[in-house]
Amino acid sequence: MADDRELITPAMPLLKEQVNGHSDVTTKRAEPDAGGDHVDEPQTKRVKLDSESTSKADGTQPRTDRQKGIAPIKPEYLVDINALDPSAQQADDDAAEASGRAHEKKNVAGRGGKKTKGGQNTARQYGQSRDAIQLCKSRSLADEFAESTCQFGSNCKWEHNIRKYLKEGKREDLATFDGACPIWEVKGKCVAGWRCRFAGSHSKEVEREDGRKELVQVEKESTQGSGGAEDPEEDEGVGVANVVSVGDKINLRKRKVPLPKSDKYLEYLNSKWENNKENTKARSDKIKDESSDRIKDEPTNEIKDEPIDKIKDEAIENPTNGIHDARASYVESPFKPSEKRRIYYGAETPVLAPLTTQGNMPFRRLCVSLGAQITWSEMAMGFPLIQGEKQEWALMKCHESELTPPKYTPKAIVQNYDNSKDLKFGAQIAANKPYLALKTTEVLATLCPNLRAVDLNCGCPIDLVFKQGSGSALLDGTSKLEKMLRGMNIVSGEIPITVKIRTGTQDKKPTAEKLCKRLILGGEEALDAGDGPSGVAAITLHGRSRQQRYTRSADWEYIAECATLVQNLRADRADVTDTVREPDARDLSSSTKSDGLPYFIGNGDILSHVDYNLHMEQGKVDSCMIARGALIKPWIFEEIETNQYLDKSATERLGYIEKFVRNGLEYWGSDEIGVGTTRKFLLEWLSFTSRYVPLGILEHLPPKLGDRPPAFKGRSDLETLLSSANYKDWIKISEMFLGPAHKDFQFQPKHKSNSYEIEAEG
């Protein structure tokens, strides 16, 4: 790769504003809460930086103690905002777009600017990336003189003249990647054909016998005549697995995909509910009749009304109660949880969290190459899946590297675990009703069998999801949640079922301990009805409440308490002496650990191998899930594997960006639309990678996720550029690999203040 200095150009200064003739960078320090305890500083706060940052008035060195909420940058790398050009104005994030750099000033890194208005850009626009003249799909892969196969003939509204399209309708080919098409290099042919932004690398002009010159497509010899998808929309990219056909999606839309297990189990639940309703009514009527008879024999002045709660309690405690034996109306479940594929979690299997938007396949593929052992899809909504919506089913696709087994080096052999049959990739879904969770799970098991597990999201705090009764709203409906998980376990075949939860919905009112106990042992009503436990194979706990969202630190002390509870439930299960209420062995999931308990995974605020090892040891969890830490530095998985800090150079970091771009082009395509899509997701990711502070310029380790860096300069111009919080610098980085952005392309940061908050995972 070229020298760092050759890869950059000057960039605008960062987030600077004039106040009374000089620049000032402000912050709010952590304030005590109502109880007098200090809380972690919100991640949207700015860092105070003045002349005392580098030296004091008396000439003494600045204090080197680590300050809470501030990244400890070495003094020689700090940048005094006051020394920069005072005429430069703060970048307007809300007017962000791909062009129009009015000023080109000295670049700085970090967030050392005045706090801007917070909040999300909920109506963000990306513009569009399309050819000026669009080529007909029937001509995309055809040679110039080939006979037209367009079904619309002369009525087609798209261009059929290839030379005219290349000259007037399409932007010039990209010179990045040495001008070679990444897809053609891997597959030997490019499905984008003439529309590819690297078309010159797989086409040529040949002279025919009659003297005419023809433009023709070129394939590698190893792929000639191999066939494949001729329609670009049918091509799924390089190494893509879990592909559901267009026909299956159409059948889902027309409700022609049979779901016999879900239908039969839902019928069973309905009949059971009707029987319980009739039995309860009969018992209540009997009690009322007996009360009426008793009242007739008693003096009027001694009449006492019996509370309805007492009637209900008596009906439950005495199910027969002179009516009929309730066991005669018992309806047994038509299915029992089948033999599940056993999965494994251990210290050697760090987990990449499900991440909305950022958890796309090219990013997951990059993380797998750096050591991620378990990956999850972005959260998919259940209803669009069973409706066959294309965009939702795209979330189920994975790369072939995610179908390989995770690392397996346990301290003790796990019984009946076959590592060769295990996978890295699992699907996470969201649902608000039992029928929706069951049908979605059965559809996935039928059409998308290459899944490690299906995870039910019970942690998403986003209002839109919460108000529909999905995500973290399920934490307050434990009985319904238990029914959903039990039903999912029954209809999923050999695919295990897992669940991701939060500490609770409200601050300082954690409910995860009770929920874990219920999910493992079964609720009272479930045991009374003979339904047994939910049979989940793993529980992942995010150490924040729904109300807390992603602010303040994750509560790892509470995670440790819940992990200890799960371990102690072995004794609670052994203490069950009532054989009538003892769980049926057929209701226990075979995908759990050897002792019959589910795996327990902790999640929250992991940015280094030190954090990972500390939580594994003190949190007593089976593994840890990593979200924002992986977005900021995806080589965190490599640090965990090698158990050491890795101070990546700017060139190495740029190499990871190049790898992501290659992954993106191979998946989204190398035409104008594919390049634009790759650029969009790259910019989303760069909004996180820019928050990485190189280890070599820190005074204290380990780095902390909530620390906010002041303005600083890197050890090279490229390192400074990569750490810039200016979205225009992110666009400049994208142009190193994708060329200039399309004139209609726009980009607005997710948060108006470029804040650290992320609504990416539950």
Q: Which residues are annotated as catalytic? A: 460
Which of 563-601 are b and which e, b meaning 16 or more Cβ less than 10 Å from the residue's Cβ?
bebbeebeeebeeeeeeeeebeeebbbbbbbeebbbbbb
**Whole-number Å distance between alpha carbons of 241 and 237:** 10
Buried b (16+ CB within 10 A) or exposed e, 194-223: bbbbbbbbbbeeeeeeeeeeebebeeeeee
Asked if 199 and 191 count as a contact pair (C-beta separation under 8 A), the reply is no
* Angstrom distances, CA of residue 228 to CA of 141, 231, 391, 409, 670: 12, 9, 23, 40, 17
What is the full DSSP assignment across 671-715? Answer: SHHHHHHHHHHHHHHHHHHTT---GGGBSSSS--TT-B--SB--S
Supply 518's token pair. 């219920």
C-alpha dihedral (415, 418, 419, 425), degrees to nearest 10: -110
3-class DSSP assignment, residue 195: helix
Give the distance from CA 658 to its chain's centroid.
Answer: 22
List, in order, residues 6 or more apart from 686 with CB less than 8 Å away. 657, 730, 733, 734
Can you tell me the distance from the alpha carbon of 511 to that of 503, in angstroms, rounded to the nearest whole number? 6
Structure tokens at 477: 């409906």
Query: By three-state DSSP, how is residue 221 classified?
Result: helix
Of the candidates 633, 758, 625, the one whose C-alpha atom is nearest the C-alpha of residue 702 is 633
Query: Which residues are CB-neighbours of 727 under 8 A, at least 6 positions away?
Result: 91, 93, 96, 683, 687, 747, 748, 749, 754
Q: How far apart are CA 706 and CA 698, in angstroms?
A: 15
What values do phi and psi take at 14, rounded to 5? -105, 120
Distance between CA atoms of residues 116 and 712, nearest Å = 19
Which secondary structure element, helix H or strand E, spans residue 539, and what is its range?
strand 538-542
Phi, psi angle pair for 673, to nearest 5°:
-65, -45
Q: What is the DSSP string of 128-170?
A: ----SSPBPGGGSSS-TTSPP--TTGGG--SB--HHHIIIIIS
User: What residues are paired with 624 via a beta bridge?
Assistant: 602
- Phi and psi at 447, nearest 5°, equal -100, -15
Q: Is 150 exposed, middle or buried (0-12, 13-18, 19+ CB in 10 A)?
A: middle
Question: How far is 78 from 62, CA to CA, in rounded Å?
Answer: 12
